[in-house]
């Protein structure tokens, strides 16, 4: 199968998955009582593979929410297409309160690019923002780049020769690096991988100059195999407090990509309130905070209405970013 046909097939799958289910979605009575809910287990769609950081954090939240709701919240992994397979499945599920899931904030970008045929502003009910991610730029300990300024100087001297590995075209690590490159006035050579693990391995194997990823680099930095040049948050991360942020270094780029939890649109208000309350307790619990700290995921709680406002703001920002970075063309090239 050719590359173009693979792209067309992926877009077809994301556009048509569950089309029959969409037309069959029932309208549930908006006066439904929270006293009647939930009566059975709730399905939680995690749009990422089992064993990853997102999976770990969402399993913790599900366990705590289960205790609050009095029913199991059962996690189901629906990975694929940078999280969009699971997000699409969530959007077209019955809005009966028995299907919820994690919503990657990247849906605001991929929906506008055309990779997933849903409207994130209309097709989802936003319940709770959960936590962000700690992104950074790492190089081998033996790299000649002792600092970010060393790398920028090399990239300016020889445009397009400095390579970096990222976890997929259009994803946070790719877009964040391209934002930084524009701010720094440099041109880098982006090497796309199917995930952060593969990108990490090629950097460790000296195949690529730099790694742009969330905290997959952390244990290797602590072990002395990698050097962390910069992180991308609003403030320094406590675990690597000696590493400056891009913003500190003079580049107005902040990428934390906080995700959250939602449900299909049309959820009865009483059910929505019950879920918001349960997930508020879960996200703000010491139990979840410990898990979040272990994977360098800063807790960034917002309740449903404020979470929706946040998503609306990100959607507008992504509209400008897609044009600025010419992301549609980059996605087509793969």
Asked, for residue 250, whether it belongs to a domain, the answer is: no
CATH number where 143 lies? 3.40.190.10
Main-chain phi, psi angles of 171, to 5 degrees: -80, 175
In which domain, by residue range, is 126 found? Answer: 3-132+258-333
162-184 mean pLDDT: 92
Specify the range with the lowest mean pLDDT, choosing from 21-30, 185-194, 257-266, 301-310. Answer: 21-30
Q: pLDDT tens digits, residue range 241-274?
A: 999 999 999 999 999 999 999 999 999 999 999 9
Beta bridge partners, 45, equal 76, 101
Q: Are residues 76 and 122 in the same domain?
A: yes
Using the Cα atoms of residue 254, residue 296, residue 82 and residue 152 in order, give the sign of their dihedral.
positive
For the chain, helix (H) and strand (E) counts, in that order, are 13, 11
Query: Using 50, 70 and 90 to split pLDDT, how confident is the model at 327?
Result: confident
Please tell me whether residues 127 and 262 are part of one structural domain: yes
Residue 27 reports pLDDT greater than 70: no
pLDDT surpassing 90 at residue 167: no
CA–CA distances in Å: residue 117 to residues 13, 92, 331? 10, 11, 15
**26 and 99 belong to one structural domain:** yes
Residue 253 domain flag? no
Residue 171 contacts residue 81 (beta carbons within 8 Å): no
203 CB contacts (<8 Å, ≥6 apart)?
138, 139, 140, 165, 209, 210, 211, 226
Alpha helix positions (H), 52-195 = 53-69, 84-91, 107-113, 148-157, 172-184
| Mean local confidence (pLDDT), 83-96 | 96
In this structure, the answer to whether residues 195 and 314 fall within a common structural domain is no
Q: Are residues 280 and 236 in the same domain?
A: no
The stretch 121-147 carries a mean pLDDT of: 97
Q: Let me know if residue 145 belongs to a domain.
A: yes
Q: Is residue 251 part of a domain?
A: no
Burial class (CB in 10 A: 0-12, 13-18, 19+), 250: exposed
Domain boundary among 240, 270, 304: 240
pTM of the model: 0.82
Residue 33 — very low, low, confident or very high, per pLDDT cuts 50/70/90?
low
Question: Between residues 111 and 52, which one has the greater pLDDT?
Answer: 111
The CATH code of the domain that includes 279 is 3.40.190.150
Mean local confidence (pLDDT), 108-131: 96
Q: What is the number of domains present in the chain? A: 2
Q: What are phi and psi of 244, to 5 degrees?
A: -75, 160
Q: Place 331 in a pLDDT band, splitting at 50, 70 and 90.
A: confident
Residues 6+ apart with CB under 8 A from 157: none
My answer on whether 123 and 269 are in the same domain is yes
Give me the pLDDT at residue 205, please: 97
Mean pLDDT taken over the chain: 90
Phi, psi at 106, each rounded to 5°:
-65, -10
């Amino acid at each position: 199968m050719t590359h173009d046909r693979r792209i067309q097939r992926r877009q077809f799958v994301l556009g048509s998955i569950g089309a029959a289910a969409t037309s069959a979605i029932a309208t549930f009575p908006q006066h439904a009582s929270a006293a009647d809910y939930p009566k059975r287990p709730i399905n939680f769609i995690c749009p990422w593979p089992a064993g990853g950081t997102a999976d770990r954090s969402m399993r913790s939240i599900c366990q705590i929410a289960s205790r609050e709701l009095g029913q199991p919240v059962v996690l189901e992994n629906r990975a694929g297409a940078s999280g969009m397979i699971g997000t699409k499945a969530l959007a077209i599920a019955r809005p009966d309160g028995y299907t919820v899931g994690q919503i990657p904030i990247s849906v605001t970008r991929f929906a506008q690019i055309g990779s997933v045929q849903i409207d994130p502003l209309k097709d989802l009910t936003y319940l709770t923002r959960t936590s962000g991610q700690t992104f950074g730029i790492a190089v081998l300990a033996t790299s000649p780049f002792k600092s970010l300024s060393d790398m920028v100087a090399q990239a300016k001297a020889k445009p397009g020769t400095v390579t970096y590995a990222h976890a997929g075209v259009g994803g946070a690590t790719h877009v964040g690096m391209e934002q930084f490159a524009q701010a720094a006035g440099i041109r880098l050579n982006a090497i796309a991988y199917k995930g952060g693990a593969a990108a990490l391995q090629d950097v460790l194997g000296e195949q690529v100059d730099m790694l742009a990823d969330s905290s997959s680099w952390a244990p290797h930095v602590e072990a002395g195999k990698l050097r962390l040049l910069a992180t991308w948050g609003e403030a320094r991360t406590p675990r690597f407090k000696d590493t400056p942020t891009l913003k500190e270094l003079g580049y107005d780029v902040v990428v934390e990509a906080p995700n959250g939890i939602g449900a299909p649109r049309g959820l009865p208000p009483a059910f929505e309130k019950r879920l918001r309350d349960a997930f508020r307790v879960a996200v703000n619990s010491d139990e979840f905070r410990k898990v979040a700290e272990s994977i360098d995921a800063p807790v960034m709680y917002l309740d449903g209405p404020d979470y929706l406002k946040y998503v609306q703001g990100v959607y507008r920002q992504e509209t400008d970013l897609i044009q600025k970075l010419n992301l549609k063309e980059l996605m087509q090239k793969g």
